[in-house]
């Protein structure tokens, strides 16, 4: 009896694993001309290239997680501008001041392809998060991109309503 239950659990886990792997798009992000972006500025904590790498890595990790919810294939994104929430100020430490007037914005084009390369969706977006109402100070390690990720989550839910985000 124990072997029968164990066999059923293994079959269930394998089935769930196969099902979750089948519905996952691969993410390909191009950061086009990042020197021209509105807000990829370095502070004391980072060199320009180090801060840029930190931002891009954080965004790619977030976007990869969202792409895994899309149908099997490829999600291509070309980011043409990024303006992070807040403004960096310097005292003894680097801080980011988040106020309503410092809203995040991102411009990008996207293309969702199925596994055979057929285009399922595409477009150009110019997103901004005007819903920011909080003023606070944050250090770079503390929920640094929550307004940007909230803005992108809203876009994913609107653009791909059949996926569960």
Q: Give bridge partners of residue 74 from the DSSP assignment.
A: 26, 113
pLDDT tens string for the chain (165 positions)? 544 443 444 433 333 343 444 579 999 999 999 988 887 655 555 555 677 888 899 999 999 999 999 999 999 999 999 998 887 665 555 666 777 778 899 999 999 999 999 999 999 999 998 876 654 545 544 477 888 988 999 999 999 999 987
In a domain, residue 137? The reply is yes
CA separation for the pair 161, 165 (Å, rounded): 9
**Sheet of 87-90: strands edge to edge?**
87-90, 94-98, 136-138
Give the count of domains, the chain: 1
Say if CB 37 and CB 88 are below 8 A apart: no
- The pTM score is 0.76
Identify whether 47 is part of a domain: yes
Instruction: Quote the pLDDT of residue 12.
Output: 38
Q: Is residue 69 part of a domain?
A: yes
Instruction: Give the residue from 94, 83, 90 showing the smallest Cα distance to 132.
Output: 83
Does the residue 87 lie in any domain?
yes
**Does residue 20 sit within a domain?**
no
User: Burial, 34: exposed, middle or buried (Cβ in 10 Å; 0-12, 13-18, 19+)?
Assistant: middle
User: What's the distance, Cα to Cα, between the start and end of the chain in Å?
Assistant: 39
The answer to whether the beta carbons of residues 60 and 29 sit under 8 Å apart is: yes
Q: At what angle do helices 146-159 and 48-67 cross, to 10 degrees?
A: 30
Residue 148 within a domain: yes
Domain range enclosing 133? 25-159
Using DSSP's 3-state secondary structure scheme, residue 91 falls into: coil
């Amino acid at each position: 009896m124990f072997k029968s239950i164990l066999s059923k659990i293994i079959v269930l886990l394998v089935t769930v694993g196969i099902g979750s792997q089948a519905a996952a798009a691969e993410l390909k992000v191009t950061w086009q001309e990042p020197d021209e972006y509105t807000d990829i500025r370095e502070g004391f904590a980072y060199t320009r290239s180090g801060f840029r790498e930190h931002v891009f890595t954080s965004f790619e990790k977030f976007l990869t997680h969202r792409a895994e919810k899309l149908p099997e294939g490829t999600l291509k994104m070309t980011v043409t501008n990024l303006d992070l929430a807040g403004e960096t100020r310097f005292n003894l430490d680097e801080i980011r001041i988040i106020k309503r007037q410092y809203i995040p914005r991102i411009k990008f084009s996207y293309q969702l392809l199925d596994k055979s390369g057929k285009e399922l969706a595409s477009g150009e977006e110019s997103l901004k998060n005007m819903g920011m109402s909080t003023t606070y100070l944050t250090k770079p390690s503390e929920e640094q991109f929550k307004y940007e990720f909230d803005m992108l989550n809203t876009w994913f839910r609107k653009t791909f309503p059949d996926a569960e985000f």
